[in-house]
Amino acid sequence: MTNNRAISRRHLLMLSGLAMAGAIRPVAAAPRAPLAEGELRGSLQAAQYGVTPDARDVSSRKFREILVRAAADNKPVFLPPGTYPISSLDLPDNVRLTGVPGASRLLYTGDGSMLRAEGLRRAEISNLVIDGGNAWLSDQTAGLFSARAVSELIIENCDIIGASKTALHLERSSARIENNRISGAADYALYAVDGRASSVSNNRVSACGNGGILIHRFTKGADGTQVIGNRLSDIGARNGGTGPFGNAINIFRADDVMVTNNHIRGAAFSAIRANAASNVMIASNQCLSSGETAIYSEFGFEGALVTGNLVDGAANGISVVNFDTGGRLATIANNIVRNISDKGPYVHDTVGFGFGISAEADAAVTGNVIENVARFGLLAGWGPYLRNLSINGNIVRRAATGMAVSVVEDAGQALIANNLFDETPKGAIIGYRWHDAATSDLVEGSSRYRHLTISGNRRS
């Protein structure tokens, strides 16, 4: 016994010494995975409450209870990577729902609606894939994500795909839609009606059936939305028509809107179409391969600034028109318009296709460069719809006719000065009576048409 105790003591002393020398170390705990971003911010972890990827037994009611709990504590709900099947999920006030970009997926299961927000002060959705799976939406559901009367709505860094109608449908809301990727919507990427000072910026929109970004109002009035820095491509017109569908960016009855620094390619109709939109600013956009008029400001507007845009490929370039319905007051300056054909997506019943820049009333057209145009480089007025045009300092090259100007009775005054025309085989400046050429070349001026002041122009 004594010997055994001695051995034990010696053994213990030896082990203690080795441990102190570092030869024996405690067994380390298994390394913990790096904290997810949401965890670092003190979020509520959905998995702790039974909401886990592919959990088919999780009801939208249970999911909402978790969102309500987190909103009450001013915490975001974090969804780890995986697929979360949902339907008819009504978001609570102050919700913050986030995940891992490209990996945390909300999948619509097709029960009529997917995500709804109504009458909220604030809601924020970020870093998620919102996947409609092209599944059926009910007649009462306008969009995959529908929001109504939300004072502050933030949708950021999400992938929104597979909407069988519109991807984002917003009414009477103030929204910030930023850095999202929206594709494959059967109708529109974003339809926002009666908004309040919203921002739609730096999104990628592609392959939408009837339109891209739509800023509308039920009745004409101040809106103040900014549409800035978005990239849009492959916008169709599945519903056909002569312009309501197929526009990458469409402003309707919404005043005080800015459309700037967007890159747009492949719109079935217009890259940018502003209809009855006063005080609209359309600046520094790239509009490539448009099927109809690339940039439109039309019908019942007062105030349009169209400047610094590049248009390459369209059936018409820039059109600021419809003085017959009150369209007036514009500056069209410092744009490049090129490669304009006379082939459009339908049979035009008035002026037709194939002109570079068109203006009608109370407008300055200055400093533009227009090249390779099927019919008219510049079109000034249409019939009697001409008043107070100043067309000065433009360059038109390789157009069948450099400029067509209305010489019908009751046409208002126009000043045409200091423009350069090159390779215009049908004439530099030709007077038109509606569809018909009615004069010889007026590039040197003419006293016959008292409403026209023509000076300082050159034709090579």
Domain ranges of the chain: 35-459
DSSP label at residue 256: S
Mean pLDDT by 10 residues, the chain (460 residues): 44 40 35 41 77 70 92 96 94 97 96 97 98 97 98 98 98 98 98 97 98 98 98 98 97 98 98 98 98 97 98 98 97 98 89 96 98 98 98 98 97 98 98 97 94 97
- CA dist 239 and 255 (Å) reads 26
pLDDT at 28: 37
179: which 2 tokens?
């850095």
424: which 2 tokens?
């215009």
Q: Provide the CB-side half-sphere exposure for 301 (13 A, CA).
A: 33
Give the position of tokens 């939109």: 277
411: which 2 tokens?
């046409």
Among left, alpha and beta (phi > 0; psi -120 to 50; other), residue 232 is beta
Give the position of tokens 């697929």: 83
pTM exceeds 0.95 for this model = no
- CA dist 41 and 43 (Å) reads 6
Q: Give me the amino acid identity at 66.
A: I
The four Cα atoms 305, 310, 316, 322 give a dihedral, to 10 degrees, of: 0
In CATH, what number does 35-459 get?
2.160.20
The four Cα atoms 63, 69, 72, 76 give a dihedral, to 10 degrees, of: -60
- For residues 276 and 299, is the Cβ–Cβ distance under 8 A? yes
Q: Which of 194, 139, 142 is nearest to 163 (CA)?
A: 142
- CA dist 50 and 326 (Å) reads 60
- For residues 240 and 210, is the Cβ–Cβ distance under 8 A? no
208: which 2 tokens?
């939408």
Output b/e per residue, 159-181; b: 16+ Cβ within 10 A: bbbbbbbbbbbbbbbbbbbbebb
- CA dist 237 and 454 (Å) reads 42
By residue count, the chain amounts to 460
Bridge partners (DSSP) of residue 389 are: 363, 414
Q: Are strands 211-222 and 188-193 parallel, antiparallel or unpaired?
A: parallel
DSSP label at residue 15: H
